[in-house]
Homo-oligomer: A and B are copies of this chain.
Amino acid sequence: MKAIVLQELNQPFQLKEVAIPEISQNEVLVKIKSAALNHRDVWIQKGQYGGIRFPVILGSDGSGIVEKVFDTENEKWIGKEVLINPSMNWGNNPRVQSKEYVILGTPVDGTFAEYVKVEARLLHNKPEHLNFEQAAALPLAGLTAWRATMTRAAVKNGENVLITGIGGGVALLCMQFAIAAGCHVYVTSGSDEKIECAVKMGVKAGVNYKKANWDKELKNLSAGFDAIVDSSGGETFSKLVDIAKPSCRIAMYGATLGEFNSGIPAKIFWKQLDILGSTMGNDDEFVNMINFVNTHKIIPVVDSVYSFNQAQSALEKMSKGEQFGKIILAVDL
């Protein structure tokens, strides 16, 4: 089969011919239709991730059709259109992943291939309102967004919610979930075009963070936020703390701008803030996320679709942060 293989650190992806995986107990073989890129794939390529082994087939997100099962009890899956939960071995504590937790696509081979083997329990029916490309855009970003927005920040109908850095796959799904939950949603971005797109999708307003006083402008527009979902950290964070209402929940699912700046600790206690770390999510959250997507007919945004032999170009596009939505790899292109 064709597969996108990472042979060693800091090398480009290689499209290679490899053996179709053999399945054993509890496993199924899924014929991949679409996969999606994640920043995780870049970090793995650069060695900024634990538990890397080589060679490896990357890819955490995949949609496709179940081709083969090992156990008779799983025969019901054959021919079904599915997406795959990339979250493996979360463990028994819903609050935090176990030490055995891994994500599909390192160390285990992932979805950037014509076939992937996974445990049957990771299969979910593809939402009927999504095509394979849209379905492949959902798993990792949707689970991360769900936990950050719905479990951790726990946004509620009628609340003012800020999602920072709109355009990335996770931020967009945070935004879509919060809108569907009945929140008044505001966004930031470094691109006016992305803000315009977000407004068309239902946000109240957005402000370009390259402007001076973007924080004050957002506070004037919104009168402050009940909840914020952020992945920037860095210099942005003290401004978020300023435009947070008292008792605001700030969920953090990343810190791309690095260390916090000044002015934060005293506001955390005076304003009775919750700063809530979040990464990926447990199996119940995945089920709840898929159900919510079905109920609200949420469609993950696909920025662009690449063929397998353009995978390295696709990855470089994502690294530049110019996309609005997920970048998809399609097997049949």
Q: How far in angstroms is the closest Cβ of chain B from A51? A: 14
Q: Is the CB of B279 within 8 A of A247?
A: no
The size of the chain A interface, using a CB distance under 8 A, is: 34
Q: How far in angstroms is the closest Cβ of chain B from A100? A: 13
Q: How far in angstroms is the closest Cβ of chain B from A91? A: 11
> CA separation between A167 and B267, bound complex, in Å?
24
Q: Does residue A317 face the partner (Cβ distance < 8 Å to B)?
A: no
Contact of A264 among B260, B267, B279 (CB under 8 A): B260
Contact of A270 among B237, B263, B279 (CB under 8 A): B279
Q: Given the interface contacts A259-B264, A274-B274, A274-B276, does A269 sit within 8 Å of B253 by beta carbon?
A: yes
Report B-chain residues with C-beta under 8 Å of the C-beta of A264: 259-260
Q: Is the CB of B262 within 8 A of A259?
A: yes
Q: Is the CB of A233 within 8 A of B265?
A: yes
Q: Is the CB of A272 within 8 A of B265?
A: no
Report B-chain residues with C-beta under 8 Å of the C-beta of A247: 93, 95-96
Q: Is the CB of B246 within 8 A of A96?
A: yes
Report B-chain residues with C-beta under 8 Å of the C-beta of A260: 260, 264-265
Q: Does residue A275 face the partner (Cβ distance < 8 Å to B)?
A: yes
Report B-chain residues with C-beta under 8 Å of the C-beta of A266: 255
Q: How far in angstroms is the closest Cβ of chain B from A308? A: 31
Contact with B along A259-297 (1 / 0, CB 8 A): 110111111111111111111000000000000000000
Q: How far in angstroms is the closest Cβ of chain B from A266? A: 6
Contact of A269 among B254, B259, B269, B270 (CB under 8 A): B254
Q: Does residue A258 face the partner (Cβ distance < 8 Å to B)?
A: yes
Query: Among A93, A264, A269, which residue has the most Cβ atoms of chain B within 10 A?
Result: A269
Query: Among A253, A264, A275, A278, which residue has the most Cβ atoms of chain B within 10 A?
Result: A275
Residues of A participating in the B interface, judged by any CB pair closer than 8 Å: 93, 95-97, 233-234, 237, 246-247, 252-255, 258-260, 262-279
17 contacts between A and B (CB under 8 A): A95-B247, A96-B247, A233-B265, A234-B265, A237-B265, A252-B265, A255-B268, A255-B269, A258-B265, A259-B262, A259-B264, A260-B265, A269-B277, A270-B279, A271-B277, A272-B278, A275-B276
Q: 7 smallest A-B Cβ distances: which pairs?
A: A255-B265, A268-B277, A275-B275, A96-B247, A269-B277, A233-B265, A95-B247
